[in-house]
Amino acid sequence: MSYNIIDAAKDFIKGEMEYAGGEVELKRLEICQPCDANTAGICTACGCIIPTKVKLAKSECPMGLW
């Protein structure tokens, strides 16, 4: 099972949120921007808000692109 919003909320509450960091975040955004699943910043493959999703270290692209 992939990392999702519930997992992220649990990590946040426990103080265990891990962030990806600048270079990783930028690379992920570069991959997501032209993707067919990106509709106005929302990933239609998983429903996540892309600018937020790319910041979370444990998150993964549901299409396996990053």
Q: What is the pLDDT of residues 10-31, one digit of tens each?
A: 999 999 999 999 999 999 999 9
Residue 45 lies in a domain: yes
Residue 20 lies in a domain: yes
CA-wise closest residue to 4 among 66, 63, 65, 60: 60
Considering its fold, how many domains does the chain have in total? Answer: 1
Q: Write the pLDDT tens digit of every residue in 46-56.
A: 999 999 999 99
Cα distances from 38 to residues 3, 4, 15, 51, in angstroms, run: 19, 17, 30, 11
Vertex 14 angle, CA 64 and 41, to 5°: 35
Check whether 1 has a pLDDT greater than 80: no
Report the percent of the chain where pLDDT is more than 90.
Answer: 91
Question: What domain range is 43 assigned to?
Answer: 5-53
pLDDT score of 20 = 95
Q: Where does 1-66 have alpha helices with state H?
A: 5-14, 22-32, 50-53
CA-wise closest residue to 59 among 44, 11, 39, 23: 11
